[in-house]
Amino acid sequence: MSTFTAGKEVLSYCGKCKLALGHTIVVMKDPQTIGKVKCNTCGAVHMYKDPATKTKKVKSKTTSTRKSKKSVSVGQLWMEEMGKASGKAEPYSIRSKFVVGDIIDHKKFGPGIVQALIEDKIEVLFQHELKLLVHGK
Ligand SMILES: [Zn+2]
């Protein structure tokens, strides 16, 4: 059983340092899955990358960084993210708490994937747009 929790150290691949290095867990996706980690070496916060899978080449994928979102249409990105996402969509509610990678089902915008946590809001990628939603109220 894994005993990962936020604040613990874990070995993750760092895209900046291009090495498997010690990282501190920032956010857990669920009790067994690490969400975001902070590189102890360069201080970058990014999604946890299992060092064992870092060699998996994904050619056309330039979607995981914020910068590259401009070059890919939201619809395209949404399709990719939905394809990658696993698990069940949860109905969106202002009272629910979401983490990066969660699929939510929004009454107005339809299904979306949580891309980032920004203060008390979540950035959600919907088929037609990227939205900031409040959660955990
Ligand atoms: Zn680093």
Ion ligand 1: residue ranges with CB closer than 5 A: 14, 16-17, 39, 41-42
Whether pLDDT at 66 is above 60:
no
Ligand 1 centroid from CA 24, angstroms: 11
Ligand 1 centroid from CA 49, angstroms: 12
Ligand 1 centroid from CA 41, angstroms: 5
pLDDT at 83: 87
What's the mean pLDDT in 45-64?
69
Residue 64 tokens, joined: 């995981």
Q: Give 70 or 104, the one with higher predicted confidence.
A: 104
What's the mean pLDDT in 18-26?
95
Ligand 1 centroid from CA 44, angstroms: 6
Q: How distant is the alpha carbon of residue 66 from its chain centre?
A: 11
Ligand 1 centroid from CA 75, angstroms: 31
Q: CA-to-CA distance for 44 and 47, rounded, in angstroms?
A: 10
pLDDT at 41: 96
The region of weakest confidence among 44-48, 68-72, 127-131 is 68-72
> In terms of Cα–Cα distance, which of 32, 125, 23 is closest to 77?
125
Please measure the distance between the N-terminal and C-terminal CA atoms of the chain and give it in whole angstroms: 31
Q: Based on the number of CB atoms within 10 Å of its own CB, is 115 exposed (0-12), middle (13-18) or buried (19 or more)?
A: buried
Ligand 1 centroid from CA 54, angstroms: 14
**pTM more than 0.85:** no
Q: CA-to-CA distance for 34 and 9, rounded, in angstroms?
A: 11
What's the mean pLDDT in 26-33?
92
Whether pLDDT at 108 is above 90:
yes
Confidence of residue 121 (pLDDT cuts 50, 70, 90): very high
Q: Based on the number of CB atoms within 10 Å of its own CB, is 130 exposed (0-12), middle (13-18) or buried (19 or more)?
A: middle
pLDDT at 70: 55
pLDDT at 67: 53
